């Protein structure tokens, strides 16, 4: 039976560490490693391997290889369930991989030089899980399994929407309109100021006032 391989991720340099046994059920901590003294460094290739031409059976493997010669240092199978690779609890750049050699296996630490490389590595593993089994639930990198609930906001049969408008401005406008409407509905004529007197009328008023004053002044001296 033929097999087909495709590279889904590659990193030119990763660091591999000898790590102490797991001490807590919470997970591994990179702070407990001697990160300044890796036991090996080289290239990481993540392969997606199909067991037949129809690719109905696929698996994923991590290959740690020498950068110059391509010699295989160790391989670690990665399962759809996520078994085989575990991120540490105190860093986004370090992982624990389960390397296999025949019937034997061991847990080694693996670190990336850049956080972006570690992120791309995580994305490649998640993409493999979706490809290998579309029905599998994906667990985010923070370790918390969450499912997004899609809410239906559409109106059901018989439901309506009621919109309440503000009353402040509308009330002031209504009061002004009511006062204008009440004045127009009463039928009473609006008062008008008389027109200003003409120049001729003003002259006549001045003459009449002056004549009356002369009569009053002379009346005081009548014996």
- Sketch out the chain's domains with CATH numbers: 4-132 (2.30.29.30)
Please indicate, yes or no, whether the overall pTM of this predicted structure exceeds 0.85.
no
Give per-residue pLDDT as tens, 126-158: 999 988 876 644 444 344 444 444 445 455 566
Order of strands across the sheet with 104-112? 72-78, 58-65, 40-50, 4-18, 104-112, 94-101, 85-87
Q: Output the six-digit token pair for 95.
A: 């992982």
DSSP H stretches of helix in 96-198: 115-132, 168-185
Confidence of residue 167 (pLDDT cuts 50, 70, 90): low
CA-CA distance, 134 to 61, in Å (whole number)?
19
The pLDDT value recorded for residue 146 is 41
For residues 56 and 139, the model is more confident at 56
Nearest CA among 73, 88, 194, 70 for reference residue 141: 88
């Amino acid at each position: 039976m033929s097999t087909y391989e495709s590279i889904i991720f590659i990193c030119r340099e990763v660091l591999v560490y000898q790590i102490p046994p797991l001490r807590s059920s919470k997970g591994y901590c990179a702070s407990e490693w001697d990160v300044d003294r890796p036991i090996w460094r080289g290239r990481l290739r993540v392969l997606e391997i199909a067991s037949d031409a129809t690719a109905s059976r696929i698996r994923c493997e991590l290959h740690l290889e020498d950068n110059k010669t391509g010699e295989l240092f160790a391989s670690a199978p990665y399962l759809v369930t996520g078994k085989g690779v575990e991120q540490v609890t105190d860093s986004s750049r370090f992982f624990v991989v389960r390397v296999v050699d025949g019937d034997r296996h061991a847990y080694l630490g693996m670190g990336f030089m850049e956080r972006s490389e570690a992120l791309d590595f995580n994305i490649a593993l998640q993409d493999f899980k979706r490809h290998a089994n579309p029905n599998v639930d994906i667990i985010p990198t923070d370790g918390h399994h969450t499912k997004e609930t899609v809410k239906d906001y559409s109106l059901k049969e018989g439901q309506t929407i009621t919109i309440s408008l503000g009353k402040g401005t509308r009330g002031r406008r209504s009061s002004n309109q009511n006062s204008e409407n009440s004045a127009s509905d009463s039928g009473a004529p609006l008062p008008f100021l008389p027109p200003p007197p003409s120049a001729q009328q003003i002259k006549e008023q001045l003459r009449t006032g002056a004549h009356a004053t002369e009569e009053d002044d002379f009346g005081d001296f009548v014996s």
